[in-house]
Amino acid sequence: MVKVLALTDHDTMSGIPEAIETARRFGMKIIPGVEISTIFCQRGSESEEPVHILAYYSSCGPSKYEELENFLANIRDGRFLRAKDMILKLNKLKLPLKWEHVAKIAGKGVAPGRLHVARAMVEAGHVENLKQAFARYLYDGGPAYSTGSEPLAEVAVQLIHRTGGLAVLAHPWALKNPAAIIRKLKDVGLHGLEVYRSDGKLVAYTDLADTYGLLKLGGSDYHGRGGHGESELGSVKLPVLVLNDFLKVARPIWCGAIKEILESYADEPSDSNLSHITRYGRGKMLKRNYPLNCGKGLVDECLSLWLTNEERQSAEFEAIKLKLSHVSINQG
């Protein structure tokens, strides 16, 4: 049974609140995250390679939320243009698809990706399955492939740092030159890379992680597609020591982000700053007539959800609670 689940949708964190509420009913814990679509440009070369960077945040979510959301929104806008360009290319290849079809598969307000185009191709009878759609038309550099407005991978890693997250390179085995990419991203603050898959640990990438002093992580990369070729949710078994190493690096970073968010509210107790605190916490309960008379009560409630006893009792957080003890919360 899955007890802790990291939700890392492509270029959006909009599903996190619903996931947290649902997970709570089943006794599960959600680690808020996002998988950021980026590109990597090799020095001295004009070629670009798609690179996906995972960001893992605390239960409080990212600090500087607006900066991250604007960054992701720009990528999503590019995904709309990219999907339309892929449809145009497929139509030129005598494989007619309609935008409305792809948009319906993606869902209302969701920026379509290659997977949604591939599903439309299957439904239209152009290919037998998703694997065939990618292998023949949608692979990187394929006849129907298109790029969007993805940022440089280095920029994404730096942003994850600024917003209180851990930056991890996703599925490095899919890259043409993983060593060069890992080396460059390590220089700008990459924390780890995936080395575990549902079929086991990949020795080559374990060695790369050791070489560059990176955390060794993994995940099922579950997309909810169904069918052959997709790993089951929870199919990757990470050793306990791997999880301990992850948390040893993550906890101080997450505590720093939580501290920054709370201090922003203490300095300016606005509704906007309050929303940063309650966004991924028990937001609905806190926004209703919850019996909290001051900011200290809010902090006590939130910190009990986000931090360990030892972390809560640190001098830094005690000082924040004292600072917030005179702040009244507008629950209207």
User: Above pLDDT 90, what percent of the chain?
Assistant: 56
**CATH 3.20.20.100 assigned to 1-238:** no
Query: pLDDT for 38-72, tens place per residue?
Result: 999 877 666 788 899 999 999 999 999 999 999 99
Q: Do residues 112 and 89 make contact, with C-beta atoms less than 8 angstroms apart?
A: no
Query: Can you say whether residue 234 is alpha, beta or left, with left for phi > 0 and alpha for psi between -120 and 50 degrees?
Result: left
Per-residue confidence band for 281, with pLDDT thresholds at 50, 70 and 90? low
Mean pLDDT lowest among 38-42, 213-217, 297-301, 307-311: 297-301
Query: Residues 206, 178: contact at Cβ < 8 Å?
Result: no
CATH 3.20.20.140 residue ranges for the chain = 1-238
pLDDT in tens, 192-214: 999 988 777 788 899 999 999 99
Tell me the mean pLDDT in the region 265-290: 72
**pLDDT one-digit tens code per residue, 117-160:** 999 999 999 999 999 999 999 988 899 999 888 899 999 999 99
Which of 76-90, 165-179, 188-202 bottoms out in mean pLDDT, i.e. has the lowest? Answer: 188-202
pLDDT for 284: 47
- The whole-number pLDDT of residue 221 equals 67
Give the pLDDT confidence score for residue 289 in this predicted structure.
47
Q: Which of 27, 148, 21 shows the shortest CA–CA distance to 85?
A: 148
Using the predicted structure, report yes or no on whether residue 328 has a pLDDT greater than 80. no
Predicted pLDDT at 296: 67
- Tell me the backbone φ, ψ of residue 42, rounded to 5 degrees: -70, 135
Instruction: Find, among 90, 70, 135, 81, the residue nearest to 113 by Cα.
Output: 81
Query: CA-to-CA distance for 312 and 294, rounded, in angstroms?
Result: 18
What does the pLDDT look like over 231-270, one tens digit per residue? 666 667 788 899 999 999 999 999 999 999 999 988 898 8
